[in-house]
Structure 1
Amino acid sequence: MKTRLLILLTVFSLVFISCEDWLKVDSSTEVSQDDMFSSDEGFHAALTGVYIGMTSKDLYGMHLSWHMLDYLAHYYCMISGSNDIYLHSHQYKNARVYPYVKNTWNGLYNLIANCNNILAKLEEHKSELDPVNYQLVKGEALTLRAFFHFDLMRMFGYGNLRNRDVSSKMAIPYVTTFSKDITPQLSYAETFKLLKNDLLEAIELLYGEDGKNCYRITGDDVFFDNGPNGGDYGFFNYFSYEDSPRVDYYVAKALLARVYMWEGTDEGYAKAVEIAEEWFLTEDDSGQDCWDWVSRSRVTNSNVLYRDRTFSQEHIWHLAVRKLNDIMGQWLDASNPNATYERVFLTESVAFTIFEVGQGNDVGVDDYRYSYLLQPQGSGLNNYATLKLDQCDGETNYGEIIPLISTPEMYYICAEVYAEQGNLKKAIGYLNEVRQARGITRDLDENLSYLEVKDEILKEYRKEFVSLGQLFYFYKRWGVENVVGYANPMGDPEYVLPYPDEEVISGNRVQF
């Protein structure tokens, strides 16, 4: 099975190309595609091609995780002469930055096109496919399509929707067909509806009828509540938790919670916290919790190669990036940043501010995220290298992994929603659980005010999401004006990435 699948993936990688190139194939190639998509394995290869595409430098292997988006969140020090100094000042049209923006837009829409092709072929070949495989592949493809569109909206659309109404404005194109035709823009209200429809359908497919054939990755294995052959279901069971970037039922649910939070309505907030709290109650077939906080021993292992720096026990979904070290190169080495402009690191001032070090409360001293995931380097030991993703050299247990959604985010959602609903003690309780899991022994005062709780939520996002590309989205969702590491106020010009020029001209797009 494994050998056969790898051979198929190698062949498929030659034809799994951009939307434009897909549409240029001749009739003989179309027949070849039809032959491939007439089998379950052909669809498995197609899905794997999408996951592999996600790992590119233009997407989640670099720019949408530890590089571009974290520059825009102002984690990193400015290095004079670096291309990325223009990222820091949000000069999106600068010749050194514009390719990042354009390639991200094109790369995500390319993956959307591939998802749409999979979905179209699924319906064409439904009668030839195993019913459970049809159900699971469709659920994955819909979740991925929604995930890519949502990230496009978070980058190229408006934020701070809880505090302003943009429902009638035009949002990013939501593409649901594999076609040469230009997809018209819809309003934000209509686009949110499409996002939620895709995810709700995916959730139903991935859960199955009354939980039968429920596909979920839990702990170190893949479980089916009522799968054929005693739960052994080929392609889906082949991928182990550590190796697999696959989406499952809980990924679709967590993504839906993100969508509800971005939408910003009271109804959406209530639905988001309902989803987030479901995660805490999840058990596997043996009655064990499907997740746990990372243990201190996994973080502090005396052998650096075996430290669990991404806290993999807490992942709801991660991306496996083969040869991640080749992508990262020397980016995380801050010992001599003047040797090359390709460096990302925190200044001492930013590190101390974010992790509350030297502020009289000693919070950062105990925090795993400060004491084990940052390393002072350079002659004055005042360059703080980020170690979360520096886990790809040698024979490691946890290498080549980039988290996409993790448990702490579900806690932060609960804290935010309960704070908005006026239940401050419950909000504080959720924040304290995360803090305790990160080694912080001092709980927050249970009598904090609403604004103080909001400030603690913001602090937690800053601490938790170094190298993961999520802080920029959080700032944007809240409309945060004063950002650590940036001297000027942040607003729409800084938060809204511009559509590529070709898209505006050929697609007649409206962004503002």
Structure 2
Amino acid sequence: MNKIIYIVSIVVLLGTSSCEKWLDVRPDEEVLVDDALKDRKGFVTVLSGVYGSLASPQLYGRNLEYGLMDAMAGYWKIPTTNQYYELYKFDYKTVRSQDTLQAIWSGLYNGIRQCNLILDRVDEINGDPYYGLVKGEALGLRAFLHLEAFKLFGPVVKVKGLQTQSLPYYKAAVKVPQKFLSSSEFLQAVEADLQEARTYLESDPIISAGREADGNGANVQIYNSLLDRRGVRMNYYAVLALLARTSQWKGDMGEASVRAQDLIVKLGVSKAIRLMENNELENNYINKDIHFSKENIFGLYVNNISSLSRPYFERGMGTNKTSLEPDYTYFLDEIYEYNTGSSLDLRLILWTINTGYFGKYIIPSTVLNSKDDPKDHYYEVQLINLPEMYFMVAEDYLDKNLETSIEYINTVRTARKLPNLVYTGSLTKDDVKEYLIDEVRREYIGEGYLFTFLKRLYNPIYRSSGNIAPSESNFTFPIPDDEMIYNTTN
């Protein structure tokens, strides 16, 4: 019988700090899956490969964070020479555009296949004390990746409804094309995976130890990565947040809001994940957590984020092809400094958002070269954060109680040192909706979130050259030709 050859990233488990354990990643190695998936160590190795693949520049190391998605959302100046220019103009037909979108599609579905390789065989370690963590993470990641694909390549639910054909959902590693499901069926499959993941993660160490703790203990002989820094792994709270996201993408804002509020309450009790406090960000020291990683419900370590991002943001490092400069003057300054914004905004200050420069991903050389300064937060990119839950509730209350909606927005504004918005009886739903959208635009620069947020709302896309009216063709990435040709299940 032929053995399956599978590529995974192996995490070197050396050193004493969590940074070393997580970030010192060797080159990809070939692993015989038939040999690897025999004990917990093998499953954890392949699971680490899923996270490693997500950190690639094709996915959350660039394109789905600060790169393509934020270029399309209008944050950056994109000249004709820039690699994202055609996609910025919503031209999905050029070879370069198709190659970029194919890489995203393949990357997401390759990650799904990795999860399925684990799930197809994980019951073989049912007696292992950490079986639940392995299975729960794999189920949660499979759901997350499918939902990410849906957000990009799926139809605009607000226009098409839930019965329109969407994408295939893969629940096994066999390379057999799966039927394209309706949006309703697809999101039900996401929901089912998340509900099952929730049961396996109910005893997640993150609940008692927090997102940054190493639960291995001081005298542990064999390092178990499952127990270290649960905030950068699929975890119990991430599953709850994804359930809220799934409701939101179904168009059920009431259910999404209930789920988001439940998570906010749970975190208020456990304190495992919390909003940053102003004094943590105002103190004058070089190694402050400008990524607000304590707020990440689900983050991802990208060990080479510095080298990946420098050609895009560091002065003198970029080229006409790569440089991404904030489209600031007379555009982004309108949300950061004027109207509902403020020049005191900690994001504006700490992320150095101005004409010609964006400093969120630049690691100071004094920190980068220091052996003593903890720098885990510099390597963490955000996949789901706590403010998203507050915004979710605020969106639901647009149709119920505008004053309550503003209160949830103000909770995030307070954490960013912005003055509270004031409720008056003359405010309309559209007024408060604009408050919410402005806050989302301020919060998620460099995070790849805004474009699909606007897609879900079917809202105009803001550009310095003028707002672009929403359209299904602009908001829906075309499914790659190979998938449409070779998947003949429909």
Matching residue's letter, 2:143:
A
User: 1:292 Cα deviation (Å)?
Assistant: 2.7
Query: Larger deviation: 275-284 or 457-466?
Result: 275-284
Residue 15 of structure 1 is matched in structure 2 by 30
Residue 157 of structure 1 is matched in structure 2 by 154
CA change 1:417–1:169 in 2 (3 A) is same
CA change 1:231–1:279 in 2 (3 A) is farther
Residue 294 of structure 2 is matched in structure 1 by 313
One of 475, 481, 486 as aligned partner of 1:495: 475
Residue 404 of structure 2 is matched in structure 1 by 426
Matching residue's letter, 1:114:
Q
Matching residue's letter, 1:503:
E
Residue 23 of structure 1 is matched in structure 2 by none
Matched residue of 1:317: which SS?
strand
Residue 380 of structure 2 is matched in structure 1 by 401
Q: Distance in 2 between matches of 1:80 and 1:283?
A: 45
Is residue 188 of structure 1 aligned with residue 172 of structure 2?
Answer: no
Q: Is the 8 A contact 2:177 2:488 kept in 1?
A: no
Query: Larger deviation: 113-122 or 34-43?
Result: 34-43
Matched residue of 1:207: which SS?
coil
Q: Distance in 2 between matches of 1:169 and 1:178?
A: 26
Q: Is the 8 A contact 1:374 1:386 kept in 2?
A: yes
Is residue 221 of structure 1 aligned with residue 213 of structure 2?
Answer: yes
Residue 441 of structure 1 is matched in structure 2 by 419
Q: Distance in 1 between matches of 2:439 and 2:220?
A: 39
> What are the superposed Cα offsets for residues 485-508 of structure 1, whole Å, 9 maximum, x if unpaired?
353323111110011111111114
Residue 289 of structure 1 is matched in structure 2 by 271
User: 1:296 Cα deviation (Å)?
Assistant: 2.8
CA change 1:183–1:288 in 2 (3 A) is closer
Q: Is the 8 A contact 1:12 1:46 kept in 2?
A: no
Residue 165 of structure 2 is matched in structure 1 by 170
Matching residue's letter, 1:457:
L
CA change 1:452–1:335 in 2 (3 A) is farther
Percent identity over the alignment is: 25
Q: Distance in 2 between matches of 1:480 and 1:195?
A: 25
One of 342, 361, 370 as aligned partner of 1:389: 361
Is residue 260 of structure 1 aligned with residue 257 of structure 2?
Answer: no
Q: Distance in 1 between matches of 2:160 and 2:406?
A: 29
User: 1:173 Cα deviation (Å)?
Assistant: 0.8
One of 235, 239, 253 as aligned partner of 2:228: 239
One of 312, 331, 344 as aligned partner of 1:331: 312
User: 1:98 Cα deviation (Å)?
Assistant: 1.8
Q: Is the 8 A contact 1:386 1:466 kept in 2?
A: no
Matching residue's letter, 1:171:
S
CA change 1:346–1:214 in 2 (3 A) is closer
Q: Distance in 2 between matches of 1:173 and 1:237?
A: 30
CA change 1:43–1:370 in 2 (3 A) is same
Matching residue's letter, 2:379:
E
Q: Is the 8 A contact 2:260 2:393 kept in 1?
A: yes
Residue 101 of structure 2 is matched in structure 1 by 101
CA change 1:375–1:180 in 2 (3 A) is closer
User: Where does 1:339-358 land on structure 2 (aligned, <5 Å)?
Assistant: 340-347=320-327, 348-355=329-336, 357-358=337-338
**Uncovered stretches (5+) of structure 2, i.e. residues with no partner:** 1-11
User: 1:60 Cα deviation (Å)?
Assistant: 0.5
Q: Distance in 1 between matches of 2:94 and 2:113?
A: 28
Matching residue's letter, 1:504:
M
User: Where does 1:1-40 land on structure 2 (aligned, <5 Å)?
Assistant: 2-3=13-14, 13-15=28-30, 32-40=32-40
> What are the superposed Cα offsets for residues 115-168 of structure 1, whole Å, 9 maximum, x if unpaired?
000000113x235x40x3221111100100011110100000122x2x444322
Q: Is the 8 A contact 2:70 2:446 kept in 1?
A: yes
TM-score (norm 2): 0.86
Matched residue of 2:170: which SS?
coil
Residue 248 of structure 1 is matched in structure 2 by 235
> What are the superposed Cα offsets for residues 225-265 of structure 1, whole Å, 9 maximum, x if unpaired?
xxx99999962565236xx6211100011011111101103
Q: Distance in 1 between matches of 2:360 and 2:424?
A: 31
**How many aligned residue pairs are there?**
464
> What are the superposed Cα offsets for residues 422-481 of structure 1, whole Å, 9 maximum, x if unpaired?
122111111111111111124333433211111111111100000100000110000012
Q: Distance in 1 between matches of 2:218 and 2:338?
A: 58
Residue 486 of structure 2 is matched in structure 1 by 506
Matching residue's letter, 2:478:
P
User: 1:11 Cα deviation (Å)?
Assistant: 9.2
CA change 1:214–1:231 in 2 (3 A) is farther
Matching residue's letter, 1:492:
E
Matched residue of 2:166: which SS?
coil
> What are the superposed Cα offsets for residues 288-328 of structure 1, whole Å, 9 maximum, x if unpaired?
62233223343344344x13111112111111111211111
User: Where does 1:199-218 land on structure 2 (aligned, <5 Å)?
Assistant: 199-208=194-203, 218=210
RMSD: 3.1
Q: Is the 8 A contact 2:409 2:436 kept in 1?
A: yes
Matching residue's letter, 2:168:
P
Matching residue's letter, 1:449:
T
User: 1:83 Cα deviation (Å)?
Assistant: 2.2
Q: Is the 8 A contact 1:146 1:198 kept in 2?
A: yes
Q: Is the 8 A contact 2:177 2:489 kept in 1?
A: no
Matching residue's letter, 1:97:
S
Q: Is the 8 A contact 1:116 1:177 kept in 2?
A: yes
Matching residue's letter, 1:462:
R
Q: Is the 8 A contact 1:310 1:388 kept in 2?
A: yes
Matching residue's letter, 1:476:
K
One of 470, 475, 488 as aligned partner of 2:449: 470
Q: Is the 8 A contact 2:274 2:295 kept in 1?
A: yes
CA change 1:229–1:185 in 2 (3 A) is farther
CA change 1:443–1:233 in 2 (3 A) is farther
> What are the superposed Cα offsets for residues 9-40 of structure 1, whole Å, 9 maximum, x if unpaired?
98994235xxxxxxxxxxxxxxx533321111
One of 273, 280, 284 as aligned partner of 1:302: 284
TM-score (norm 1): 0.83
Q: Is the 8 A contact 1:206 1:215 kept in 2?
A: no
**Uncovered stretches (5+) of structure 1, i.e. residues with no partner:** 17-31, 377-381
Q: Distance in 1 between matches of 2:364 and 2:43?
A: 30
